[in-house]
Amino acid sequence: MDARSSTRKGWASRAGFVLAAAGSAVGLGNIWKFPYITGTYGGGAFVLVYLGCILLLGLPIMVAELIIGRCGQRDAIGSFLVLEGPDSRWKWVGAVSVVAAFLLLAFYSVVAGWSFDYVFKAASGEFSKGGTEQIGGLFLKLTASAFRGLFWQALFLAATAGIVIGGIRGGIERWSKILMPALFGLLILLFLHSMFSPGGMLALRFLFTPDFSLLAPRALLGALGHAFFTLSLGAGVMITYGSYLDAEADLFGLSFRIAALDTLVALLASLTIFSVVFSAGMPIDGGPGLVFKTLPILFLQLPFGKLLALLFFLLLAFAALTSAISMLEVVVAYAVDEWCWPRGRATGVVGLAAFFLGIPCGLSFNVLKGFALLPGHTVFESLDLLVSSYMLPLGGLMVAVYVGWRWTRDRQCSAFVNLHPEGRLFAAWRFVLRYFAPAAVLIILFNEAGWLG
Q: Determine the Cα–Cα distance for residues 329 and 335; give it in Å rounded to an integer.
A: 10
What Cα–Cα distance (Å) separates residue 400 from each residue in 71, 233, 411? 16, 11, 17
At its nearest, how many Å lie between ligand PHE and the CB of residue 420? Answer: 28
Binding pattern for the stretch 22-41 against ligand PHE, x by CB under 6 A and - elsewhere:
--xx-xxxx-----------
Q: Determine the Cα–Cα distance for residues 407 and 210; give it in Å rounded to an integer.
A: 39
Between residues 149 and 236, which has the closer beta carbon with respect to ligand PHE? 236
Q: Which of 153, 232, 263, 447 binds ligand PHE (CB under 6 A)?
A: 232
Is position 235 an interface residue for ligand PHE (rule: CB under 6 A)?
Answer: yes
Q: Determine the Cα–Cα distance for residues 118 and 291; give it in Å rounded to an integer.
A: 11
Binding pattern for the stretch 325-364 against ligand PHE, x by CB under 6 A and - elsewhere:
-xx-------------------------------------
Q: Which of 323, 347, 378, 447 binds ligand PHE (CB under 6 A)?
A: 323
Q: Determine the Cα–Cα distance for residues 92 and 104; give it in Å rounded to an integer.
A: 18
At its nearest, how many Å lie between ligand PHE and the CB of residue 391? Answer: 10
Q: Which of 153, 230, 272, 364 binds ligand PHE (CB under 6 A)?
A: 230
Binding pattern for the stretch 188-217 against ligand PHE, x by CB under 6 A and - elsewhere:
------------------------------
Beta-bridge partner residues of 377: 374
Helix (H) or strand (E) holding 186: helix 174-195
How many CB atoms within 10 Å of residue 122?
A: 23
How many CB atoms within 10 Å of residue 193?
A: 19
Compute φ and ψ for 306, nearest 5 degrees.
-65, -40
Residue partners of 434: CB distance under 8 A and separation at least 6 = 400, 404, 405
Between residues 176 and 323, which has the closer beta carbon with respect to ligand PHE? 323
Among positive and negative, which fits the CA dihedral 302, 303, 308, 310?
positive
At its nearest, how many Å lie between ligand PHE and the CB of residue 201? Answer: 28
Between residues 11 and 407, which has the closer beta carbon with respect to ligand PHE? 11
At its nearest, how many Å lie between ligand PHE and the CB of residue 230? Answer: 4
At its nearest, how many Å lie between ligand PHE and the CB of residue 326? Answer: 5
Q: Which of residues 81-120 bind ligand PHE (CB under 6 A)?
A: 104
Is position 73 an interface residue for ligand PHE (rule: CB under 6 A)?
Answer: no
Task: State the burial class of residue 84 (Cβ atoms within 10 Å of its Cβ: 0-12, 13-18, 19+).
Answer: middle
Instruction: Outline where 26-90 has alpha helix (H).
Output: 28, 34-40, 44-53, 59-72, 78-84
Q: Total residues contacting ligand PHE (rule CB under 6 A)?
A: 15
Between residues 297 and 335, which has the closer beta carbon with respect to ligand PHE? 335
Between residues 138 and 330, which has the closer beta carbon with respect to ligand PHE? 330
Compute φ and ψ for 303, nearest 5 degrees.
-60, 145
Q: Point out which span in 10-18, 125-133, 199-207, 226-234 binds ligand PHE (CB under 6 A).
A: 226-234
DSSP state for residue 403 in the 8-state scheme:
I
- Give CA 223 to chain center in angstroms: 14
Between residues 30 and 73, which has the closer beta carbon with respect to ligand PHE? 30
Is position 143 an interface residue for ligand PHE (rule: CB under 6 A)?
Answer: no
Interface residues toward ligand PHE, by CB under 6 A: 24-25, 27-30, 104, 229-230, 232, 235, 237, 323, 326-327
